Structure formats: C-alpha cells, structure tokens
Amino acid sequence: MFPESSTGYGYEACKATADWLLAQASVRPLVGIVCGSGLGGLADMLKDQKVVRYSDIPNFPQSTVHGHAGRLVFGTLKGKPCVCMQGRFHLYEGYPIQKIIMPIRVFKLMGVETVILTNAAGGLNQDYKVGDVMIIKDHLNMPGFSGNNPLCGPNDERFGTRFPCMSDAYSRRLCQLAQEAGTELGYSDFLREGVYCVLGGPSFETIAECRMLNRLGADAVGMSTVHEVIAARHCGMQVFALSLITNKAVMDYDSEEKANHEEVLQTGEQRSQQLVKLVSTLVTRITPNNDEC
C-alpha cells in the first residue's frame, strides 16, 4: 500500500476520478490542454463543450488563483477530442506536489496521449519583449534541486518507470510543427524558443535571482508547468509547452519597474487570440507518432 493512497492522489484515486469524468464527458479526449494565468480563453475554442467545475470533481484540487476559472472543459477541436483545464495548481497554494500533478495522471487514465501546457512567464532573455511567445525546449527545475519532485516517494509502475528520462521532455517534433504553424500564421516576429525555469513562488524574483537564473541559461521564469511535464513524461505522454512573456524580469537595480499579476493577466488577454490560433493549428497536426520516443 502506498502512503499517498489515503490522501486522494494515488493510482486508485486518479482512476476513480478519471472514470467519473469519462461518465460525464461527451468525448474521450486524446489531447489535454492546460491553460495558464490569463490564458483560459483557449478552452473557448472547443466545440460541443461539456463543462465540469473542479469543485464537483471527486478528489480534485481547487484553483485559488485569480485568472484561473477552475473548470474542466471537454469538446472537440477540428474534430479532435480534447480536454482543457481552465486553471492549474501551484506549490505556492500549499498543495503537496503530488496533488498538483494529479490532473495530468487523470488525463492519462482518460486516454490522453498528448499534453499541451501554457503559462505566463517573466522574460529573462534580454532580447525578449512583453507579448512574445516562447516555445519551451527545455527546463530548469529549481524545486527539484532541493528534492521537491512530483515523483518523490514510492514509484507506482502503473504510472511509469522509477527513473524516467528527461532529456527528451519536450517533443522536438511538436516544437518543429509549432514553429511551422507560427510561420504560416505570420507570428515569426514574436515566436521564440528557449529554456523555462520554475520557482516555487508566490513572491516574484529578486534582481539577484533573475541575474543568476539568466546566467544559468534560463530565458523565462515562472511558477508552474515543469511538475506537470515531469508527470506527463513519466506516464508516457508527449509534451508541448509554451510561455507567454507577460513581463520583463527586472535585472537592473536602477530600474523602477515592478512585476505584478495584473500585468500578467492583461498581456494574456491581449495575445489570447493569436495563442488560440497557434494551439488550434498545432492540435490538428498532432498524430500518435509525432514524438521520437
């Protein structure tokens, strides 16, 4: 018996939640989409929607962040069955990290094969501008360095192997397809590719922290996504992720700029239409064999 079996996020709890959701759903989703701060409008692109509030889902965590609607939306996109999370969960909300990634495991048990993750992030790369969209090619997992990894504890082989590889965490093929879609849509001026760094939050980064992360090779910094990526790859799903650069990280002690959540939501609203087009175009091109592994 695993220690987490009584806490609402072990295999049995995830399976019970997945079965309950499939009984409510109008489709059997193959693609799972996670919406970050200010990006919940991505769910509006789904047709024939069935909406389920997190508060109604057995064992499911609850979203507490402004800009996260707290709803699961089932539907189709250009005929492809999808499920979309309007709102995700973070370490700073006080959840155990295994609870944060529970929805990803539920996705797997519902039949999802590909996970698309979006987030709002601060730009560390000095060439980035507010409103840029960064395709994530790799990540730095800072909480993981201190042992806060979603796979810590006994491994349940029904989810995946004890030591999953992360050198291929982000599907190179899906990154390539997204770049091609972005070029066709005329988004080349604001479409980037880079490394995302996750921190615990909820405080924004200090100037010294931003400088350090930039020197370590991070192009953007945020408080989500990486834990979900690790869980998805552990389960054998292919992953694509992107960051909307909603603010430039403050790197100069003489600067009067200050990061704030309102700016994050505003930028998400301004860029949401292009993000919907990019993600929807990518979804139509996903096949089970897109990934290399």
> Is 193 tagged catalytic?
no
Q: Which tokens go with 153?
A: 């504890």
Q: What pLDDT is stored for residue 193 in this prediction? A: 98
> What's the mean per-residue pLDDT of the chain?
91
Catalytic entry in 13, 43, 85, 120: 120
More confident residue, 184 or 43: 184
| Calpha distance 69→87 (Å, rounded) | 6
108 φ, ψ to 5°? -60, -45
> Domain 3-285 falls in which CATH fold?
Rossmann fold (3.40.50)
> Is 234 tagged catalytic?
no
- With cut-offs at 50, 70 and 90, classify the pLDDT of residue 6: very low
Q: 19 to each of 30, 142, 229, 241, 277, how far by Cα in Å?
A: 15, 34, 23, 26, 31
> Is 128 tagged catalytic?
no
DSSP state of 153: S
8 A C-beta contact, residue 243 and residue 195 = no
More confident residue, 77 or 67: 77
Q: What pLDDT is stored for residue 227 in this prediction? A: 98
Judge whether residue 182 has pLDDT over 50. Answer: yes
Q: Please report how the helices 226-234 and 102-110 are oriented relative to each other, as an axis angle in degrees rounded to 10.
A: 40
pLDDT mean over 102-131:
96
> Is 181 tagged catalytic?
no
Catalytic entry in 11, 166, 259, 261: 261
Q: What pLDDT is stored for residue 68 in this prediction? A: 64
Cβ neighbours, 10 Å, residue 44:
13
Judge whether residue 277 has pLDDT over 60. Answer: yes
Of 32-46, 127-141, 251-265, 269-283, highest mean pLDDT: 127-141
> Is 223 tagged catalytic?
yes
Cα distance from N-terminal residue to C-terminal residue, the chain: 31
Q: What pLDDT is stored for residue 48 in this prediction? A: 93
Q: What pLDDT is stored for residue 83 in this prediction? A: 97
Catalytic entry in 11, 16, 25, 92: 92
Cβ-count burial of 85 within 10 angstroms (0-12 exposed, 13-18 middle, 19+ buried)?
Answer: buried
Q: What pLDDT is stored for residue 1 in this prediction? A: 35
> Is 120 tagged catalytic?
yes
Catalytic entry in 4, 13, 68, 231: 68
Cβ-count burial of 179 within 10 angstroms (0-12 exposed, 13-18 middle, 19+ buried)?
Answer: middle
Instruction: Tell me the pLDDT tens digit for each residue of 208-243.
Output: 999 999 999 999 999 999 999 999 999 999 999 999
> Is 68 tagged catalytic?
yes
> Is 90 tagged catalytic?
yes
Q: What pLDDT is stored for residue 23 in this prediction? A: 96
pLDDT mean over 167-185:
97
Collect all residues with Cβ–Cβ distance below 8 Å to 155 and sequence separation of at least 6.
Answer: 161, 162
Judge whether residue 275 has pLDDT over 70. Answer: yes
Collect all residues with Cβ–Cβ distance below 8 Å to 102 and sequence separation of at least 6.
Answer: 8, 9, 13, 14, 17, 59, 60, 61
DSSP state of 163: S
Instruction: Tell me the pLDDT tens digit for each residue of 78-113.
Output: 889 999 999 899 999 999 999 999 999 999 999 999
Catalytic entry in 223, 231, 241, 249: 223
Cβ neighbours, 10 Å, residue 205:
22
Segments of 199-237 assigned E as strands = 220-222
Catalytic entry in 37, 63, 171, 272: 37
| Calpha distance 214→249 (Å, rounded) | 10
> Is 272 tagged catalytic?
no
Instruction: Tell me the pLDDT tens digit for each residue of 41-76.
Output: 788 889 999 999 999 999 999 887 776 689 999 999
Catalytic entry in 125, 141, 247, 290: 247
- With cut-offs at 50, 70 and 90, classify the pLDDT of residue 259: confident
- With cut-offs at 50, 70 and 90, classify the pLDDT of residue 288: confident
Q: What pLDDT is stored for residue 289 in this prediction? A: 60
Catalytic entry in 9, 45, 85, 90: 90
Q: Decide: helix, strand or coil at residue 214.
A: helix
> Is 260 tagged catalytic?
no
